[in-house]
Amino acid sequence: MSAWFLTLVADPARFPLAPALVARVRDALAAGPPDWLAAEEAADLPLADAPDPARVRAALDSAPVDALAVPAAGRRKRLLVADMDSTIVTGETLDELADFAGLKDRIAAITARSMNGEIDFATALRERVALLRGLPISALGATWDRMRLTPGAAELVATMRAAGAVTALVSGGFTWFTERVAAQVGFDHHRANVLEHDGSALRGTVAEPILDRDAKLAALHGFCRALGVGPEAAAAVGDGANDLAMLGAAGLGVAFRAKPVVAAAARARVDHAGLRAVLFAQGFRAEEIRGG
């Protein structure tokens, strides 16, 4: 029986996963026969030991295919903890909100530095929110209208819930948005920062304490305790430096189209496919995936 799986995942609309490429990776790793989870999209390669990342990269030869190595034991997770901005939704809600104040470039630059781990998240958040003082709260609704779900987000949540997992949206963004995203996608729980306003305009402040890197990790552990499981039974997905701690603690921590510092540190990463890849990494087959 296999101790590990290497799951190869591609975006079939851009680069269908070809049997010849899968065979090449199999030969390079001396893996067992491939098990196709989804035609032209995902295949498992069974292995006796964890694969050598250098051999995997060499065999893929720069093909736009994600390769996720996962232990066979406890492969399907009981908990999903997901970041929101640039993970479940495609954009950064604070940056888009800043666009209505004519400050998008200025605030986006601070966001980028924070997500790369160059500056403290809480400090960066307070600094960015302060710049929005006086912005009408109608800008929140206008920003929401711009938000788009990442491909596979609804399927990820619906499928894990159907399999009995608890799902939580834990964001360094704002509850005004996580409440709506959670309702649209179907998350069981959501947590984020509270953006303060006076009923008509933003105050330029965020309620304390800030939901930061440590708070995300604490949330993951808290949900695990409530379920009576260890963090190895959790899947976590995110893209920024404030996600690193929870990604490292989870049994399956996936850096999704992540910032360089996060991609370099993560044990599993998805650079090309959508969020369905997090399901394939758990061994879900195409026919098991719910439509969201």
Query: What CATH class is the domain 76-292?
Result: alpha beta
The per-residue pLDDT for 1 is 66
The per-residue pLDDT for 26 is 98
Catalytic residues, by residue number, are 83, 85
d(CA 239, CA 88): 10
Spans of all domains in the chain: 1-73, 76-292
d(CA 24, CA 7): 14
Per-residue pLDDT of the chain (292 residues; tens, 9 = 90+): 689 999 999 999 999 999 999 999 999 999 999 999 999 999 999 999 999 999 999 999 999 999 999 999 999 999 999 999 999 999 999 999 999 999 999 999 999 999 888 999 999 999 999 999 999 999 999 999 999 999 999 999 999 999 999 999 999 999 999 999 999 999 999 999 999 999 999 999 999 999 999 999 999 999 999 999 999 999 999 999 999 999 999 999 999 999 899 999 999 999 999 999 999 999 999 999 998 6
The per-residue pLDDT for 201 is 98
d(CA 137, CA 262): 33
Cis bond leading into 260, ω under 30°? no
Q: Which two three-digit tokens encode residue 223?
A: 């949900």
d(CA 278, CA 273): 10
CATH code for the domain defined by 1-73: 3.30.70
d(CA 184, CA 218): 25
Closest CA to 156 of 245, 222, 254: 254
Count of residues for the chain?
A: 292
1-73 and 76-292 have identical folds: no
The per-residue pLDDT for 2 is 86
The per-residue pLDDT for 291 is 84
